[in-house]
Amino acid sequence: MEIAGKKDVMNRKEIEKRLEKIDLTLPPPETEPERQYYFIRLLQDWAEKKKKELGRPLYANITTFGCQMNARDSEKILGIMQMAGFEETESEEADFLLYNTCTVRENANLKVYGRLGQLKKQKEKNPDMVIALCGCMMQEKEVVEKIGKSYRNVDIIFGTHNIFKLAELLSIKLLDQRAKQKMLIDIWDGTEEIVEDLPNERKYSFKGGVNIMFGCNNFCSYCIVPYVRGRERSREPEDIIAEIKCMVQDGVKEVMLLGQNVNSYGKNLKNPVTFAELLRRAEEIEGLERIRFMTSHPKDLSDELIQVMADSKKICHHMHLPLQSGSSRLLKVMNRRYTKEDYLLLVEKLRKAVPDIALTTDIIVGFPGETEEDFEETLDLVRTVGYDNAFTFLYSKRTGTPAASMEGQVLPEVAKERFDRLLTEVQQISAQKAAKRTGTVHTILVEEVNQQDSSLLTGRGSQNFLVHFPGDKAQVGTFVNVRLEESKGFYYLGKQV
Ligand code: SAH
Ligand code: SF4
Ligand code: F3S
């Protein structure tokens, strides 16, 4: 299939214009994204009739599990559904219900099975409801087999490589009589295809995520992501910059550049570009005020990038730098390709270049072969670095990864005990870090009216901390200066100055 549009730079109006040109009397085009426009048009006609028949709108409910990649994919899915004539709803009593799944740890899978079981009743109430599953978990053969056998109420399953095909799959399901009774399964493996120029929504009007690359090549020995998201592929820098410019025109002030390892961005492009260079180009975009990125792999964190951060006025003073373990021996078995010393050196360089930088991390406890000494080294490193926040994970065996068949699997009770010790340590350190910042004034991007107390606004500082402070809802999406008055652990209470 030919890749037609490569830029995610069209706004809703432009897409609507292109949709109008579609002739439904012809067979569907072969090229993307025109082919999907064709199916969106089909769905629009179907939805018009259906809404009249029901005397109410059609509702779509999307639940997202997992990371920022999935969150961004869900925005794209919602964009397609809205264009097709559905309205978003928070309720699971919907006409279209989708779980965008994650499989990074086993728990993630269990959650989805639990939720699917509960849907049986919903479907009895509304037999026309379409239940769809997509995301990383669906890239696992055993999962799809299990759902095929045990969860017959599922209508559509697709994977991480063909999200752009949603309108086509839904059209088949809704319009083709033969497909109605069958579970429609469409999973692709390892495609290079990046189809863009499709409708896409954003949760916030003033900030948004931008995919700069897809997939991962690192094969950390515990991790399933490279198997379910495929090989690393970067978007062209011109396409990324054009997308950000388009977002800024629509009122976006802060972007989050997304990739499993943004530090290796651009290496496999025909004309290679470094991530640091991409950031330099983004910095020049007029009207863009803040740049964030996620995630940085320590092995690819270059001096050039640190310099760009130091020189930048827009890059936020926060880096999420997953450590995984403080033991160089375990890091090697994890295939992380850095040592404890390499990591500490990076932290030193970062703090020298950007003194008020906030550092956050991910840590796995109970990796196969982890001894008490290895674990102590992790604790020690956590103390030495003094993270602003750390996400701690109990090691979870993922079928097909090298670690799953390693010797020395740690007993669950031992792992749990270490996990609790680590968590206590992490919480103490981040509370100390947060307390140090009280009394200082920060520029905050206001994100929303506080859900518990509508007299309060909630926003984020450059270092990614949250602060609640009294204000007016008209300030959502603007920058205000706030003094951090009291640290509450997860967030601050503050006052505008
Ligand atoms: N690409 C990112 C991480 C994506 S997954 C990176 O390299 O940093 C997010 C986190 O989940 C990882 O950093 C790791 O700490 C955790 N994780 C991944 N696989 C896991 C497993 N099998 N068991 C426990 N935690 C895991
Ligand atoms: Fe998983 Fe490692 Fe890739 Fe991160 S870098 S997604 S932990 S394989
Ligand atoms: Fe989960 Fe897939 Fe992200 S496995 S963490 S949703 S890339």
With a cut of 70, say whether residue 3 has pLDDT above it: no
CA 391 to ligand 1 centroid distance, Å: 10
CA 100 to ligand 2 centroid distance, Å: 19
Ligand minimally distant from the alpha carbon of residue 363: 1
Helix (H) or strand (E) holding 374: helix 372-385
CA 298 to ligand 1 centroid distance, Å: 14
What percentage of the chain has pLDDT greater than the value 90?
Answer: 89
Ligand 1 atom nearest 218 alpha carbon: 7
- Phi and psi at residue 58, to the nearest 5°: -100, 135
Ligand minimally distant from the alpha carbon of residue 398: 1
Q: Are 305 and 279 in contact (CB under 8 A)?
A: yes
CA 223 to ligand 1 centroid distance, Å: 6
With a cut of 60, say whether residue 9 has pLDDT above it: no
Across the range 371-380, mean pLDDT stands at 98
Higher per-residue confidence, 180 vs 275? 275
CB-based contacts of 271: which residues, under 8 Å, 6+ apart? none
With a cut of 70, say whether residue 353 has pLDDT above it: yes
pLDDT tens per residue, range 43-77: 999 999 999 999 999 999 999 999 999 999 999 99
Across the range 416-420, mean pLDDT stands at 98
Task: Specify the pLDDT at position 7.
Answer: 47
Question: Is ligand 2 within 6 A of the CB of residue 220?
Answer: yes
CA 100 to ligand 3 centroid distance, Å: 10
Across the range 251-264, mean pLDDT stands at 97
Ligand 2 atom nearest 297 alpha carbon: 5
Across the range 330-350, mean pLDDT stands at 98
Task: Specify the pLDDT at position 176.
Answer: 87
Across the range 274-278, mean pLDDT stands at 98
Task: Specify the pLDDT at position 46.
Answer: 97
Mutate to test the pocket of ligand 1, among 103, 343, 363, 364 (most ligand atoms within 8 A of CB): 364
Ligand minimally distant from the alpha carbon of residue 160: 3
CA distance 22 to 26: 9
With a cut of 60, say whether residue 359 has pLDDT above it: yes
Across the range 371-379, mean pLDDT stands at 98
**Nearest alpha carbon, ligand 3 atom 3:** 67
Amino acid at 95: D
**Nearest alpha carbon, ligand 1 atom 10:** 362
Could you give the angle at the alpha carbon of 66 between the alpha carbons of 33 and 99, nearest 5°? Answer: 60
Helices 68-84 and 34-54: crossing angle in degrees, nearest 10, is: 60
Instruction: Mark 354-372 as b/e (b = at least 16 C-beta within 10 Å).
Output: beebbbbbebbbbbbebee
Across the range 137-152, mean pLDDT stands at 96
Tally Cβ neighbours within 10 Å of residue 163.
18
With a cut of 80, say whether residue 190 has pLDDT above it: no
pLDDT tens per residue, range 286-327: 999 999 999 999 999 999 999 999 999 999 999 999 999 999
Task: Please give the full DSSP string across 413-462, using - where no structure is assigned.
Answer: HHHHHHHHHHHHHHHHHHHHHHHHHTT-EEEEEEEEE-SS-TTEEEEE-T
Across the range 113-135, mean pLDDT stands at 92
Task: Specify the pLDDT at position 10.
Answer: 66
Instruction: Mark 266-275 as b/e (b = at least 16 C-beta within 10 Å).
Output: beeeeeebbb
Task: Specify the pLDDT at position 38.
Answer: 97
CA 203 to ligand 1 centroid distance, Å: 25
Please list every protein residue whose CB sits less than 6 Å from any atom of ligand 1: 104-105, 222-223, 225, 260-261, 295, 297, 322, 324, 362, 364, 393, 395-396, 398
With a cut of 60, say whether residue 332 has pLDDT above it: yes
Per DSSP, the three-state class of 365 is strand
CA 220 to ligand 1 centroid distance, Å: 9
Across the range 86-110, mean pLDDT stands at 96
CA 136 to ligand 3 centroid distance, Å: 6
Ligand 3 atom nearest 100 alpha carbon: 6
Higher per-residue confidence, 310 vs 193? 310
CA 494 to ligand 1 centroid distance, Å: 33
Ligand minimally distant from the alpha carbon of residue 226: 2
Mutate to test the pocket of ligand 1, among 228, 321, 331, 362 (most ligand atoms within 8 A of CB): 362
CA 305 to ligand 1 centroid distance, Å: 23
Question: Is ligand 2 within 6 A of the CB of residue 103?
Answer: no
Task: Specify the pLDDT at position 489.
Answer: 83
With a cut of 70, say whether residue 8 has pLDDT above it: no
CA 68 to ligand 2 centroid distance, Å: 14
Task: Specify the pLDDT at position 14.
Answer: 84
Which pLDDT band holds residue 201 (cuts at 50, 70, 90)?
A: confident
Supply the mean pLDDT for the chain: 94
**Nearest alpha carbon, ligand 3 atom 7:** 225
